[in-house]
Amino acid sequence: MERIMRGAQLVGWKANELVQRATKLKNHVSEVGMRTFKRKTKISAKKEDEWARRITAIDTRRCLDVGMLPENVQHKRQKRDASHDNYRQFFSSPVQSAVLEMSHIRHSSHIF
C-alpha cells in the first residue's frame, strides 16, 4: 500500500528475494559478531577463580573428546592440583622450600 501511495513500483519478485537473502545474511553476521562480543565481555568480567574453573571444565571436556578415559582425566587433575599446592607451600617456610627444591632437583635429574 505504501509503495502505491509513493508511486514506487516493484521491478520483480526475484530482486526482492535477493535483497531479503542479503539482508538476512547481513543480520546473521552481525548477530554472530554481537554474540561473540557479549561473550568476551562476560568472560572478562568474571572473577579469576570462576575463569579458572571454566578453563578447567573446557580442558576436561577436550580430554574426554580426544578419547582419554575419565579415570585418567581425574588423575591428571589431581596431579595438577597437587603440584599447585606444592608451589604454594614453596614460599611458606625456608625448611619446606629447601625440601621441595631438593625434590625438584631429584625429579628433574631423571629427564637427562
Please measure the distance between the N-terminal and C-terminal CA atoms of the chain and give it in whole angstroms: 84
Q: What is the pLDDT of residues 52-104, one digit of tens each?
A: 677 777 777 777 778 877 777 766 556 655 555 555 554 555 555 566 566 55
What pTM was computed for the model? 0.25
**Residue 46 DSSP label:** S
Q: What is the pLDDT of residues 33-54, one digit of tens each?
A: 788 788 777 777 767 666 667 7
Whole-number Å distance between alpha carbons of 55 and 77: 12
| Contact by Cβ (8 Å): 105, 88 | no
- When pLDDT is cut at 50, 70 and 90, the band that residue 112 belongs to is very low
